Amino acid sequence: MTSSSDLRSPSRTGAGLALRDATLGRPGAPVLEGVDLDVAPGEILTLVGPSGCGKSTLLRTLAGLLAPLAGDVSQDRHPLTGPAADRALIFQEDALLPWRTLRANVELPLAIKGLPRAERRRQAEDWLERVGLTEQSRQLPHRVSGGQRQRAQLARALAGAPRAVLMDEPFGALDAQTRAGMQDLLVEVLRGTGATVVFVTHDVDEALFLGDRVALLGNGRLTAVRDVPRPRDRTAHDDPARVALRRDVLTSLGT
Amino acid sequence: MTRRTPQRESRFTPRRPRRASRFALRLASLAAALGAWQLLAGLKVDLWLRFSQFPTVTDVARTFADRLAGPDYWTDLTDSLTRILTGFLLAAVLGVATGVLVARSRLAEDLLGPVLEVIRPIPAIALVPVAILLFPSNEQGIVFITCTAAFFPVLVSTRHAVRALTPVWEEAVLTMGGGRWRVLGSVVLPGALPGIFGGLSVGIGVSWICVISAEMISGQYGVGYRTWQDYTVVNYAGVFVGMITIGVLGWVTSTAVELLGRRLTRWLPRTSYIPGARTPRPARTAAASAPVSPTAKEEAPHDQLV
């Protein structure tokens, strides 16, 4: 469907997620209506839209934390019934358990899977090394910087080997420089996991850099889904096709 | 170690009295209070407040020493401690369990809420008649009253703490595939712990009030019982011994709860600022060149945390 898989060699297949004519929101307060969306296995789909447009609601529905008010939500053509280890969620901030060290946080999904202690420890150390937090693995979350906390969250989410990773403005609270570094890190650690990614952001440049496709939300609807030329290529920023898409996206967002 | 000493010094330049001098000040305050008591009682001062019947500090001290040598004092002490610890531990378990249940389940809230809210305003000591009716022995009745007294502060603070938990913690565990017990063990209980300990601290205080009062009314042995006995036989020095004992026991138990709470909630961002956790500042620059080894030992676990 998209140009995704040249980047990664999926050893495990990502999950395919789909919404059919779905109305989303909290009971009595729908924020999105008539949403039809397919997320292909292994692709990175970014969701952009103004704040309050229902990006987080859509993500929480895909996670299984919110049931759709109408319509269907499915994973690999099976209806979603609730949250599962298959679909990890990464939050904007402060989702690490503050009483656990970074390593203990990363061990948590492994403990839930029932891995023996030594194996948990080994895998957690391994993931922390991949995100560059070996030094800080014994620290409590409030002792490290915001960027380090988000890296730990990334490690925690991926440690459970999910087939889909749902990210809710994970880099939104970081400064521009840290943010670019985190985007590169994300691309790097995703490599080989084969996981499908749905990435919510309000930053158009971030959406165009990371996404194989970008989905636009606004006025309570999913307004468009566009293919991104040359995703995850820093040099593509001035590519005419990319520039045109960027202009289109900004226009449709009304900014 | 030697590297950080100067840094440490400059960080604490605002004038803080040294630990030894603060300790001396506290002792002096205590001594002054005792001295005033001794004078007022010894001179039998009667100026509206009447100290003529008051035992002097030396009277009380003599009685205290006699009591300590006899067997009854220790029986009373262990009896009271057994009662309060049993009651308090029961209250802690029941209070936390009920608090979590009421906070997390609407059904439990509807079923238990009204009953609890009606019982809550009743002072535990007013339940003495109920305790006498319900329980075959006085002993169980006293434990029941102590437990009821501590139960409500623990329940209320647990309920608030559980409701105030950050929702993303639970959502994170759910999306890792954790079930309800995992959420309870990994998020709800540890996350509510700071609040729970607030309730436990209040609870242990109320427990003492109730155990002593209950003993005064219906006990056999126990510090409260003994204190009331002394009063009925006009042994005022004995009454004061009882009061001091209650004070010290209350202080020791609440400090124990407090310390346990601090230890278990060490992850809180604030805990590093507890004054007690600070290492003493070397007083003079001359002393700074030779930092004592205990200082370094004290710091080691702290450094690991940092």
Cβ pair A37, A225 in contact under 8 A: yes
Q: Which of B165, B175, B262 to mutate to test the interface with A (most CBs of A within 10 A)?
A: B175
- Respond yes or no on whether ipTM tops 0.90: no
Query: Which one of B186, B193, B265 has the shortest CB-CB distance to A108?
Result: B186
Strand order in the sheet with A17-26: A29-39, A17-26, A70-75, A78-79
Chain B residues within an 8 Å CB radius of A99: 190-191, 193, 265, 267
**Nearest residue of B to residue A139, measured between CA atoms:** B305
Query: Which one of A97, A138, A156 has the shortest CB-CB distance to B304?
Result: A138
- Is A116 inside any structural domain? yes
Average pLDDT taken over every residue of chain A:
82
User: Which CATH number, 1.10.3720.10, 3.40.630.30, 2.60.34.30, 1.10.287.3510, labels domain B61-265?
Assistant: 1.10.3720.10
Domain count across chain A: 1
Chain B residues within an 8 Å CB radius of A160: 176-177
pLDDT at B96: 94
* CATH number, domain containing residue A175: 3.40.50.300
Q: Which one, of B255, B223, B241, B204, lies nearest residue B88 by Cα?
A: B204
Is residue A10 left, alpha or beta, with left meaning phi > 0 and alpha meaning psi from -120 to 50? beta
Cβ–Cβ below 8 Å for A99 and B190: yes
pLDDT at A4: 40
Q: How large is the average pLDDT for residues A161-173?
A: 86
Q: Which of A60, A97, A107, A153 to mutate to test the interface with B (most CBs of B within 10 A)?
A: A97
Q: Is the pLDDT of residue B44 over 90?
A: no
Task: Read off the tokens for B86.
Answer: 């049993």
* Residue B46 contacts A where some CB pair is shorter than 8 Å: no
pLDDT at A255: 55
Query: Which one of B175, B265, B267 has the shortest CB-CB distance to A63?
Result: B175
* Residue A91 contacts B where some CB pair is shorter than 8 Å: yes
* Residue A170 contacts B where some CB pair is shorter than 8 Å: no
Q: Is the pLDDT of residue A3 over 80?
A: no
Cβ–Cβ below 8 Å for A85 and B171: no
Query: Which one of B168, B177, B193 has the shortest CB-CB distance to A85?
Result: B177
Q: Is the dihedral of CA A69, A74, A79, A85 positive or negative?
A: negative
Q: Is the dihedral of CA A192, A179, B178, A26 positive or negative?
A: negative
Domain of residue A89: give its range: 41-64+82-252
When pLDDT is cut at 50, 70 and 90, the band that residue A230 belongs to is: confident
In angstroms, the CA B167 to CA A57 distance is 14
* Residue A237 contacts B where some CB pair is shorter than 8 Å: no
* Residue B267 contacts A where some CB pair is shorter than 8 Å: yes
Cβ–Cβ below 8 Å for B174 and A83: yes
- Is A8 inside any structural domain? no
CA-based radius of gyration for chain B: 25
Å from B25 to nearest chain A CA? 36
What digits encode the pLDDT tens for the residues B100-132? 999 988 898 888 888 888 888 888 888 888 888
Cβ–Cβ below 8 Å for A143 and B306: yes
* Residue A94 contacts B where some CB pair is shorter than 8 Å: yes
A255: Cβ contacts below 8 Å, ≥ 6 apart: A50
Chain B residues within an 8 Å CB radius of A143: 305-306
Share of chain B above pLDDT 70, in %: 82
pLDDT at B218: 77
pLDDT at B278: 45
Task: Read off the tokens for B71.
Answer: 């067997």
Cβ–Cβ below 8 Å for A91 and B171: yes
**Nearest residue of B to residue A161, measured between CA atoms:** B176
Task: Read off the tokens for B276.
Answer: 């007690």
What residue type is B232 in one-letter code? T
What digits encode the pLDDT tens for the residues A6-31? 344 444 678 888 888 888 888 888 88
One DSSP character per residue, chain A reads: --S-TTS---SSPPPPEEEEEEEEEETTEEEEEEEEEEE-TT-EEEEE--TTSSHHHHHHHHHTSS--SEEEEEETTEE--S--TTEEEE-SS--S-TTS-HHHHHHHHHHHTT--HHHHHHHHHHHHHHTT-TTTTTS-GGGS-HHHHHHHHHHHHHHT--SEEEEESTTTTS-HHHHHHHHHHHHHHHTTT--EEEEEES-HHHHHHH-SEEEEEETTEEEEEEEPSSTT-GGGGG-HHHHHHHHHHHHHTT-
B120: three-class secondary structure by DSSP: coil
**Nearest residue of A to residue B170, measured between CA atoms:** A95
What digits encode the pLDDT tens for the residues A134-162? 888 888 888 888 888 888 998 898 888 88
Chain B residues within an 8 Å CB radius of A100: 267
pLDDT at A113: 86
Interfacial A residues in 107-146 facing B (CB < 8 Å) = 108-109, 112-113, 138-140, 142-143
- Is A178 inside any structural domain? yes
pLDDT at B16: 59
Cβ–Cβ below 8 Å for A88 and B175: yes
pLDDT at B93: 95
Cβ pair A5, A64 in contact under 8 A: no
Cβ–Cβ below 8 Å for B187 and A108: no
- Is A31 inside any structural domain? no
What residue type is B170 in one-letter code? E
- Is A29 inside any structural domain? no
Q: How large is the average pLDDT for residues B300-304?
A: 34
Q: Which of A80, A99, A135 to mutate to test the interface with B (most CBs of B within 10 A)?
A: A99
- Is A14 inside any structural domain? no
pLDDT at B98: 93
Interfacial A residues in 207-236 facing B (CB < 8 Å) = none
Å from B265 to nearest chain A CA? 8
Cβ–Cβ below 8 Å for B191 and A95: no
When pLDDT is cut at 50, 70 and 90, the band that residue B303 belongs to is: very low
B178: three-class secondary structure by DSSP: coil
Antiparallel, parallel or unpaired: β B49-50 and B46-47: antiparallel
A158: Cβ contacts below 8 Å, ≥ 6 apart: A88, A127, A165, A189, A190, A193, A195
